[in-house]
């Protein structure tokens, strides 16, 4: 195969070829690094690249194959790490000017597990300042751009990860999701994104353990690739006392033959959750995708979940968290903060302690409402994002006639399931009239990660997307 085809080959196929000695990790890494070198100046998907370290690791991986060593599940595969996670020896900026020249001295838990599974870190992917928003730009340099249309955002905050996978700059990418930050860019960039149940992948280091909102997860081209990456990342760790304290399922085996698991399921479809604006063509494409579940012997029912709009509660908690964590830096260097993050900090500072505790009480109420809803349904399907990718410079002017939507207006389908901790996947399901990706969200019950992955795999079999590549 030529190098472009190699760069778009699924990780599961690359892993099998490495084990069969049909492909060398060095050959794969050479192709990926050459593509990064050619395209990253346009896309700005990476904030740091480690060609020397990656090639040295690839040569070691090749030698291990030739010796007949026991190989980890990610052996010899290129993996990118979002720049909110430290990787020892590499630049780690958190998207902040305060850390523009910071070199990490330790590995975060995700990096540890990638390396332990034989994965090779290619670099650190772009993120907005501390991952605070749904676009990937910061004050460190040019914004990250969407490979499908370079004047559009790839989404955020794992925008660099999604853009890299979409453009063939590596098959496996790490992302984090505190209000949608895996699923937003997965949807806008046309790749698969999976937010596991809260705690399924431990979160360390973490300055705010007890908030309980941020999930780590994979962005990949295929569902099987995500299952492969989860095999390396999932499982408890004492450094995160909220991590799920049992062994994860065999996700790779589960997604290989998914249809049997879906027969007879009750599936809810909600175009707007009862309150969210959605562009008509997004609504049409996602409804068509949801109806495919009838072909899997599921009962699909259009519903209004009946819960209240949690936007105000989630938005205030978000702002208070940034005010508490970044307030001292903001006072020291307000010129190093984007207007969007400065506004969040100022909003958080205006809230009282009572206001903040009230958000926790309202979150509890919302979670209980969601639990009651899911007692009647196995899966919930929704649009993932209400519109296609918008300008790289500013948010959309309107969504379905609603003017000047702010960030949480755009995230109506994502942040609720950070509040509840439920697993959720973003699956590509078509393109807008402008040629921009659209995605369906699949949400499962508490800890039903395997079923969500199986539902995504069944949809992928019925409506494949991995063979569609942006022309960058």
Pick the catalytic residue from 181, 197, 243, 270: 181
Classify burial at 306, counting beta carbons within 10 Å of its beta carbon; exposed 0-12, middle 13-18, buried 19 or more: exposed
CA distance linking residue 267 with residue 250, whole number of Å:
24
The β-bridge partners of 440 are 383, 427
Q: How far is CA 168 from the centre of its chain?
A: 16
CA distance linking residue 430 with residue 410, whole number of Å:
19
Residue/partner pairs of 289-292 with CB below 8 Å, 24 or more apart: 289/381, 289/427, 289/429, 289/430, 289/440, 289/459, 289/463, 290/381, 290/440, 292/459, 292/462, 292/463
Which residues have CB under 8 Å from 272's CB, separation 6+? 278, 283, 383, 412
Residue with tokens 């919930």: 380
Pick the catalytic residue from 24, 80, 82, 243: 82
| Cβ(410)–Cβ(387) below 8 Å | yes
Known catalytic residue: 149? no
Question: Is the bond into 34 cis (omega within 30 degrees of 0)?
Answer: no
Helix axes 311-332, 353-374, angle to 10 degrees: 140
Known catalytic residue: 197? no
Known catalytic residue: 157? yes
Element housing 382 (H / E): strand 379-383
Which residues have CB under 8 Å from 273's CB, separation 6+? 304, 305, 307, 309, 382, 412, 413, 416
Pick the catalytic residue from 80, 157, 243, 426: 157
Where in 162-213 does DSSP place strands (E)?
172-177, 192-195
Catalytic residues: 82, 157, 181
């Amino acid at each position: 195969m030529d190098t472009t085809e190699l760069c778009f080959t699924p990780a599961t196929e690359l892993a099998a070829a490495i084990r069969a000695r049909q492909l060398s990790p060095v050959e794969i890494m050479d192709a990926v690094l050459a593509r990064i070198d050619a395209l990253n100046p346009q896309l700005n998907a990476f904030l740091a690249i480690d060609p020397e370290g990656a090639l040295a690791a690839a040569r070691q991986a090749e030698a291990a194959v030739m010796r007949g060593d026991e190989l980890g599940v990610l052996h010899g595969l290129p993996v990118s790490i979002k720049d909110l996670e430290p990787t020892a020896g590499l630049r780690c900026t958190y998207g902040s000017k305060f850390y523009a020249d910071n070199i990490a001295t330790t590995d975060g838990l995700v990096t540890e597990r990638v390396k332990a599974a034989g994965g090779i870190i290619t670099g650190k992917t772009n993120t907005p300042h501390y991952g605070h928003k749904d676009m990937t730009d910061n004050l460190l340099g040019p914004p990250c751009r969407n490979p499908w249309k370079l004047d559009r955002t790839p989404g955020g905050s794992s925008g660099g990860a999604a853009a890299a996978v979409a453009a063939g700059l590596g098959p496996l990418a790490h992302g984090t999701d505190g209000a949608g930050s895996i699923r937003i860019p997965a949807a806008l960039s046309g790749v698969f994104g999976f937010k596991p149940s809260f705690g399924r992948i431990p979160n360390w280091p973490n300055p705010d353990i007890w908030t309980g909102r941020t999930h780590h997860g994979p962005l990949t081209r295929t569902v099987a690739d995500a299952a492969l990456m989860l095999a390396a990342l999932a499982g408890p760790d004492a450094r995160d006392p909220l991590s799920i304290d049992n062994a994860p399922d065999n996700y790779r085996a589960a997604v290989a033959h998914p249809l049997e698991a879906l027969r007879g399921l009750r599936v809810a479809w909600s175009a707007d959750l009862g309150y969210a604006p959605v562009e008509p063509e997004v609504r049409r494409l996602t409804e068509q995708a949801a109806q495919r579940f009838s072909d899997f012997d599921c009962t699909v029912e259009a519903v209004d979940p009946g819960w209240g709009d949690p936007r105000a509660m989630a938005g205030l908690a978000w702002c208070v968290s940034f005010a508490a964590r970044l307030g001292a830096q903001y006072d020291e260097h307000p010129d190093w903060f984007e207007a969007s993050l400065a506004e969040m900090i100022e909003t958080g500072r205006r809230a009282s302690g009572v206001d903040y505790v009230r958000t926790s009480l309202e979150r509890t109420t919302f979670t209980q409402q969601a639990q009651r809803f899911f007692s009647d349904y196995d899966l919930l399907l929704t649009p993932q994002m209400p519109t296609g990718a918008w300008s790289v410079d500013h948010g959309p002017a309107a969504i379905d006639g609603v003017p000047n939507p702010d960030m949480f207006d755009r995230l109506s389908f994502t942040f609720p399931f950070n509040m509840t901790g439920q697993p959720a996947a973003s699956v590509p399901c078509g393109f807008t009239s402008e040629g921009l990706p659209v995605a369906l969200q699949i949400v499962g019950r508490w800890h039903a990660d395997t079923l969500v992955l199986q539902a995504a795999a069944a949809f992928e079999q019925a409506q494949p997307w991995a063979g569609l590549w942006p022309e960058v």
